[in-house]
Amino acid sequence: MAGSTPKRVILVTGATGTQGSATIDALISNGALDTHKLVAVTRNTESGSAKKLAGRGVQLVQGNLNDIPAIFASVKKELGGGDDAKVWGVFSVQVAIGGGASPESEERQGKALVDAALANGVEHFVYTSADRGGETRSFSNPTKVPHFVSKHNIEHHLVDKAAAAAASASSSAQTPMTWTILRPVAFMDNFNVGFGTKLMTTGFRVALKGKPLQLVSSRDIGWFAAQALLQPAAYAGRSVTIAGDELTLSDLRQTFKQKTGRDMPETFQFVAHLLFWFSEELGSMFRWFHDEGFGADLPALRKEHPALQAWGDWLENDSQWVAKSK
């Protein structure tokens, strides 16, 4: 229809990864395609995961976070230029571990995406970080965990750069970029089928020593990301620590047994000790779990999102364990 308002374009990084795909799922479930264009950044537009996104109405652009200006150029080309091709919102997530990634590359990519978003007139920016002791403490607590430090630095870069841009935009017609920071706790998804579950469970036993740990499902991270993008006024300037449950290893084991009919997989303690020694990332993280720990306000989160998944919900709804046990 002539004269109609263009759909807002949301650029999703990490679109085929855990958090990016959960965000796209939540956006689509909340009817985002009626009012927005969803554009997914992927290294391989021909992969099975990318093709599934395309089949759901998501537009694809090939690129990686080492060349962010090229991503914005590809979006403009893919969407045909003009107002219809302007990126309105960004979901930002970077990888710090595995596949050649590091906290240093994570920080470089995260900061560069903030800068490119500001340069391209993005109006709302959702960054998924990591909790470092609750909503009040996290912003001033980088911790000694390298991939928490990098996220802390990206957060400060986002807040500082957005504030500076807003100050200069006050005398112009440019719309300032608002932001939302999401801080998930440890992922329930790390306990899915595979040897990683054995390492997580054994690490829990070795490092936590009976203390509880907060966990969150990627589905719930996606829900909060979608809400922040679809209701930006309600989430602008907010930092939200996200968790769905808080459990000891005994709690984990008991619910796992109830839901799957089997014992929770574990391995030898020396394997966890060796891994913690070999990987400073994992060793420092598990030590921090014990010494400080996450600080999500679970009652407040459940009030805001009543469908928040507890450990047992995740096992039933999203894990591979229950399906494999039937």
Percent of the chain with pLDDT over 70: 96
Poorest-pLDDT segment among 137-151, 167-181, 192-206: 167-181
Q: Given pLDDT bands bounded at 50, 70 and 90, which one contains residue 193?
A: confident
| 229: exposed, middle or buried (Cβ count in 10 Å: 0-12, 13-18, 19+) | buried
Q: What is the DSSP string of 42-67?
A: ES-TTSHHHHHHHHTT-EEEE--TTS
In this predicted structure, the answer to whether residue 171 has a pLDDT above a threshold of 60 is no
Can you give the pLDDT at residue 168? 82
Please give the C-alpha separations between residue 153 and each of 23, 76, 110, 120, in angstroms, as whole numbers: 23, 29, 9, 22
Q: When comparing pLDDT for 115 and 323, which is higher?
A: 115
Backbone angles phi, psi at 67, to 5 degrees: -140, 75
Q: When comparing pLDDT for 273 and 309, which is higher?
A: 309
How many residues in total does the chain contain? Answer: 326
In this predicted structure, the answer to whether residue 242 has a pLDDT above a threshold of 90 is yes
CA 271 to chain centre: 28
Q: Given pLDDT bands bounded at 50, 70 and 90, which one contains residue 274?
A: confident
State the average pLDDT over residues 28-35.
97
Poorest-pLDDT segment among 87-91, 241-245, 276-280, 281-285: 276-280
CA distance 7 to 32: 10
Can you give the pLDDT at residue 2? 46
Domains recognised in the chain with CATH numbers: 8-187+217-242 (3.40.50.720), 190-212+245-293+309-325 (no CATH)
Q: Given pLDDT bands bounded at 50, 70 and 90, which one contains residue 280?
A: confident
